Amino acid sequence: MKRSMVRRAGVVALALTSLMAVGATAQADAQRLSSCLGSFCLYEHDDFAGAEQEFLFTSNGCANVGSTLNNKASSMRNPSAGRMQLYTSANCAGSYGYAAAPRSVDGDLTNNGFDNQATSVRRVTP
């Protein structure tokens, strides 16, 4: 009887610990998502991990990727209403190599052949 109660207490403690870990992970994901509302964000690693650079466009225009993520971006979020074009050259020179539709995400730019290549970003009207 005593062993059964101890065993049940152990199972309950393990279940509560697991739930707290899942809650912390979900909270971290929500914080990462909320840091990029209404703008465009590039991330250093797949699945929105690592360093982040946020671009705030109030109209169409071009911005260079900062030195931390220049040619190192592996995922992106575009919660804005604008289409974003990524270029391999500074100042949006040449033709773009990747286009992000309005209100889209891409957790791995590898599948589009644009992993670790972004040097500048242009916002254009959809």
Q: Are residues 82 and 107 in the same domain?
A: yes
Count of H-run helices and E-run strands, the chain: 1, 8
Determine the structural domain holding residue 15 and report its residue range: 1-34
In angstroms, the first-to-last Cα distance of the chain is: 69
Would you state the pLDDT for residue 4? Answer: 57
Low-confidence residues in the chain, pLDDT < 50: 6, 11-12, 14-28, 30-32
C-alpha–C-alpha distance, residues 110 and 31, integer Å: 25
Which tokens hold the place of 78?
Answer: 């575009």
pTM beyond 0.75? no
Which tokens hold the place of 87?
Answer: 């270029």
Domains identified in the chain, total number: 2
C-alpha–C-alpha distance, residues 49 and 109, integer Å: 13
Write the CATH number for 75.
2.60.20.10
